[in-house]
Amino acid sequence: MIALVVAMAEGNVIGARNDLPWYLPADLKHFKEITSGHTVIMGRTTFESIIARLHRPLPNRRSVVITRKVEYDYKGVEIMHDVADIAVLAEEVYVIGGAQIYAATINQADKLYVTEVHAAIPGDTYFPTIDPKKWQEVSRESHAADEKNQYDYDFVMYERK
């Protein structure tokens, strides 16, 4: 099973300058609940943004970084050089970005875990359009902004039709 996990603002914005352009602690908690104990797949720049923020790979997850850089190495993570290689992982995997990795895996994915951030936030990185002919919304949990989360947001799950 391949699932994509993403938070996106209006216009499918997922990033700005290699970082999340918002801070929603509830989304970070939701992300942790979905991915803990599983394998997460990400591109090199997404991985490097995690390292810049946390100074280590995501805890309690097997991290797989996809990069074209042949010599790339980082202690505690696995390196793959082609997104097609994730097919050899005989387990549930969670793709966590970035845009190129999402675009390369969305047609193989079984589920989408989407946090819809209800705000027009400028960015330079985008999630592919979710085609309603291919995806069916199966759950939605709406939340209002509060003292910790500055925007309204929904946790939405889609399954492939």
Identify the H or E element spanning 97: none
Measured CA to CA, the distance from residue 77 to residue 142 in angstroms comes to 34
Q: How many CA atoms lie within 13 A of 155 on its CB side?
A: 12
pTM (global) more than 0.75: yes
Please, which residues have CB within 8 angstroms of residue 84's CB and are 6 or more apart in sequence? none
Task: Say what the pLDDT of residue 89 is.
Answer: 86
First to last CA, the chain: 14
Q: Can you tell me whether residue 79 is helix, strand or coil? A: strand
Both tokens of residue 12?
A: 């499918």
Listed as ranges, residues in the chain with pLDDT below 50 are none
Task: Say what the pLDDT of residue 135 is.
Answer: 98
Q: Cβ(93)–Cβ(2) under 8 Å?
A: yes
* CATH architecture for residues 2-41+84-160: 3-Layer(aba) Sandwich (3.40)
Q: Cβ(2)–Cβ(25) under 8 Å?
A: no
Alpha helices in the chain (DSSP H): 25-35, 44-54, 99-105
